[in-house]
Amino acid sequence: MSFSDSTPEAVARAFAAAISARDLAALARLMSDDHRFIDSLGNTVKGRGKMEDGWRSYFTMVPDYTITVSEAFASGPVVVMVGTAQGTFTADGKLKPENKWQTPAAWRATIAGDHVAEWRVYADNDPIRKLMAKNF
């Protein structure tokens, strides 16, 4: 799928949809070669290959992870989206209702052409951290 005629917001929304579908192939197609992922603590992962591995690991840990975008705002190549992130943490592959979490979140995407050059997450990760601590 090509987004060469799409707006930055359309590219960012396609990336969000690929995350919610846990579609690694689509995520890889949408990431620039020098893609940067920055989590809510400021940790940075650089490179498409490293982020493919990162998403694969995260989707193993939270196999039903989705993000819901309720609003988006674009200014040139920068798109900010707000909504919620949710999923079920698992340490053993079993999705237990008591390990389900949800938190308000925002994402800042910098778009370069039809690729996401940077994906920055702003979220309170305390809900999943508490579940992880309880399960290990």
**Domains of the chain, CATH where assigned:** 8-135 (3.10.450.50)
For residues 19 and 70, give the distance between their C-alpha atoms in angstroms, rounded to a whole number.
15
**Predicted local distance difference test score (pLDDT) of residue 79:** 98
Query: What amino acid is encoded at 19 in this protein?
Result: I
> Given a cut of 70, is residue 135 above it in pLDDT?
yes
**Predicted local distance difference test score (pLDDT) of residue 4:** 52
> Given a cut of 50, is residue 17 above it in pLDDT?
yes
What pTM, to 2 d.p., does this model score?
0.91
**Predicted local distance difference test score (pLDDT) of residue 3:** 47
For residues 112 and 8, give the distance between their C-alpha atoms in angstroms, rounded to a whole number.
8
For residues 48 and 26, give the distance between their C-alpha atoms in angstroms, rounded to a whole number.
12
State the DSSP H helix or E strand holding residue 131, giving kind and residue range, or none if neither: helix 126-135
Query: What amino acid is encoded at 128 in this protein?
Result: I
DSSP line for 69-130:
EEEEEEETTEEEEEEEEEEE--SSS---GGGEEEEEEEEEEEEETTEEEEEEEEE--HHHHH
Q: Are 72 and 81 in contact (CB under 8 A)?
A: yes
Q: Please tell me which residue, 129 or 119, carries the higher pLDDT value.
A: 119
**Predicted local distance difference test score (pLDDT) of residue 134:** 74
For residues 66 and 9, give the distance between their C-alpha atoms in angstroms, rounded to a whole number.
18
Provide the pLDDT confidence category of residue 5 given band limits of 50, 70 and 90: low
**In this predicted model, what pLDDT tens digit does every residue of 43-100 receive, in sequence order?**
999 999 999 999 999 999 999 999 999 999 999 999 999 999 999 999 898 999 999 9
**Predicted local distance difference test score (pLDDT) of residue 128:** 76
**Predicted local distance difference test score (pLDDT) of residue 52:** 97
For residues 60 and 90, give the distance between their C-alpha atoms in angstroms, rounded to a whole number.
8
